[in-house]
Amino acid sequence: MTSTVQPATPSLYRGVFLMIAAVTVFTVMSAFIKAAERIPPGEAVFFRSVFAMPVIFVWLWMQGDLKDGIRTADWRPHAVRGIAGTCAMGLGFAGLKYLPLPEVTALRFVTPVLLLIFAAIFLGERFRKVRLFAVLLGLAGVVIMTAPRFSAGGTGAELFGVCVTLASAGMAALAQTFVKAMAGKEKTAAIVFYFSLTAAGLSLLTLPFGWVLPMGWEWLFLIGAGLIGGCGQILLTSSYRFADAGVLAPFTYVSMLWALLIGYFVFLEVPTLPMILGSLLIIVAGVVIVWRERALGLRGTAEGKVQAKGHM
């Protein structure tokens, strides 16, 4: 009984390149939001969502899928996913106002760990030993990273930043759980489009809570975040056309390198030892999850082939 691993081909390299480009773009987008620190998170979500939509429309038009690409049989799962995703985005943007960019990026890496928990609760997936180990390892990384914030030296603003960022990771995991449930039923373009539409609409509910008129460079940062966020979504979606998700997932951690560089050179944020150690544990937990899920997928494929041969 043999299993096949995706060979190194030009197509595979293209997928990896697109994934690295996507996470790079998303990190720059986060830096833009952080630079527009005067703008409330809800308002930032509005700009991020609205200005991503023209990019998505152009992409669908170039693919010849403008009409059918956003067609859906059921809008309800899109609405639920959109609510969870919008909350994740808004909370993540709020965290950027109180914590260094690398720390927010690292804390958001706990999303795959939480996804395992939610998949077990909502989708009935088995909680195997390796998954349990990965979850505990990731949570240990979170504890190490956030311990200084909860000590006597941490400020109230920093504690709030940790809480909203972890809540953002939790809501992102919940949103991905819904996306996982929609897999095979809805087109990727429809999922992307209706999420942006939902996020733009929900962000308007925060209008009474203190939106401000952007000034000077803030316009560039906000509009730029929307445009490159849309481009990042397209790059991310396109990468999966050339390589398996299990192959591409480890490359998402390249965003940590960009976050460290941008944080240090742009925002003068010096990484601390707990931040580095905690983020490494979270990344290792994520890699363990990817490795295990890929191994299970290959095993399932191989067993399916054996069963198919047995019925011939």
What does the DSSP assignment read for 22-41?
HHHHHHHHHHHHHH-TTS-H
CA-to-CA distance for 179 and 177, rounded, in angstroms? 5
> Radius of gyration (Cα) for the chain, nearest Å?
20
Asked if residues 120 and 132 have their Cβ atoms less than 8 Å apart, the reply is: no
Mean of pLDDT over the chain: 85
Taking alpha carbons only, the member of 24, 21, 17, 44 closest to residue 261 is 24
**What sign does the CA torsion over 13, 15, 21, 24 have?**
negative
Instruction: Please state the pTM of the whole predicted model.
Output: 0.85
pLDDT of residue 8: 57
Contacts of 285 (CB under 8 A, 6+ apart): 112, 113, 134, 135, 137, 138, 141
Pair of tokens at residue 225: 């975040």
pLDDT one-digit tens code per residue, 105-161 = 999 988 888 877 877 787 777 767 787 888 889 899 999 998 888 876 668 889 999
* Mean pLDDT of all residues in 89-108: 95
